[in-house]
Amino acid sequence: MSKVLLGMSGGVDSSVAAALLLRAGHEVIGATLIMHDIHEKDAAAAKIVADAVGIDHITVDMREEFEKHVLSPFVSEYEKGRTPNPCVLCNGYIKFPALLRTADSLGCDCIATGHYAAIRQRDGHPIITAATDKAKDQSYFLYMLGEDILSRLLFPLSGMTKPEIRALAEELGLPSASSPDSQDICFIKDISCADFVRSRSNGEIKLGNFVDTEGKVLGKHKGITAYTIGQRKGLGIASTSPLYVSYIDADSGNVILCRENELYRTKVYADNCRYFAGKLPDTFEANVSLRYTKKPGRATVTALSENEVLIEFTEPQRAPAPGQAAVFFDGDDLLGGGTIK
């Protein structure tokens, strides 16, 4: 069987992935990528699991690359009034490329992770498709992965549900069997996202006013990095009906508020696009998700250039946020994605 380098966080998912790879007869090496000082604890937990299942474990320091490609852009995007998706950037620029480079240096045939996703062939290309557990499926975050990675990537958990994974971890006596699920942003703990951005910002956070759609000043806000499109909670504005963030003007510092029905859009532009077969088609139909937790909407996607598209939805979509990912699906198949402009 193959020699596999498995990305390990010390959590239950990657731990069970290790056990399943061993059960299938693979030689397995565990690797923890340390992106941030917070991940030192993850490495220690992963080493305990690796020892328990009987595999070697290594750590790879990726802090410098993570700072350049994820942390700095994350803060910069918020300073521009946008809402970035760090997991997409990390998977595309850091995690999977680093695993593949490390695998090559160790003579490994494949890499693997505990992601909830699957891989199949489509039109002669390896393509990511949804995992069995749709509630946990993570394909949305993986659209930047190219064929060089997909052709050597294994997802051992693709056919399992979370309860099945926890049950197997307990059956095997894995140290991580009762570990909590990971949080959305792995490098932010015990602090709000807004406070994290404020602590990392090189300049002053842009202050300004809450303004309605007619230009009337409604009050002062805490700084543009504290808000995202569609937000209602935490505004502190008294109104006869609920108000939501409609637009963030980084130049003036104003945050424009609107009513719920004014948040919906039928047209969305996205750039930095990727497509599973390489070149974007001139036009194609897809189910397009504008956030990880959002149900995809049916749309026509038209290429405006080699990496920019216009997405026209059949039904209006609520609160598309610049900086978030627009991800294209055909049923369970991941076709590609881009960044909302």
The residues annotated with a catalytic role in the active site are 90, 186
Question: What do you get for the CA distance between the two ends of the chain, in Å?
Answer: 45
Are the C-beta atoms of residues 185 and 71 closer than 8 Å to each other? no
Please tell me what DSSP assigns to residue 326. Answer: E
Say how many C-beta atoms besides its own lie within 10 A of residue 161's C-beta. 16
Residue 82 to residue 27: CA distance in whole angstroms? 44
The residue written with tokens 């949804």 in the block is 130
Beta strand 309-318 with 325-330: parallel, antiparallel or unpaired?
Answer: unpaired
4 in helix, strand or coil? strand
Q: What is the DSSP string of 165-207?
A: HHHHHHHHT-TTTTPPPPPSSTT--SS-HHHHHHHH-SSPPPP
Q: What is the DSSP string of 14-58?
A: HHHHHHHHHHTT-EEEEEEEE-SGGGHHHHHHHHHHHHHHT-EEE
Residue 181 to residue 199: CA distance in whole angstroms? 26
Distances (CA, A) of 34 to 46, 74, 90, 220, 226: 12, 18, 12, 40, 28
Distances (CA, A) of 6 to 44, 96, 132, 151, 289: 15, 11, 20, 15, 29
CB-facing half-sphere around the CA of 27: CA atoms within 13 A: 8
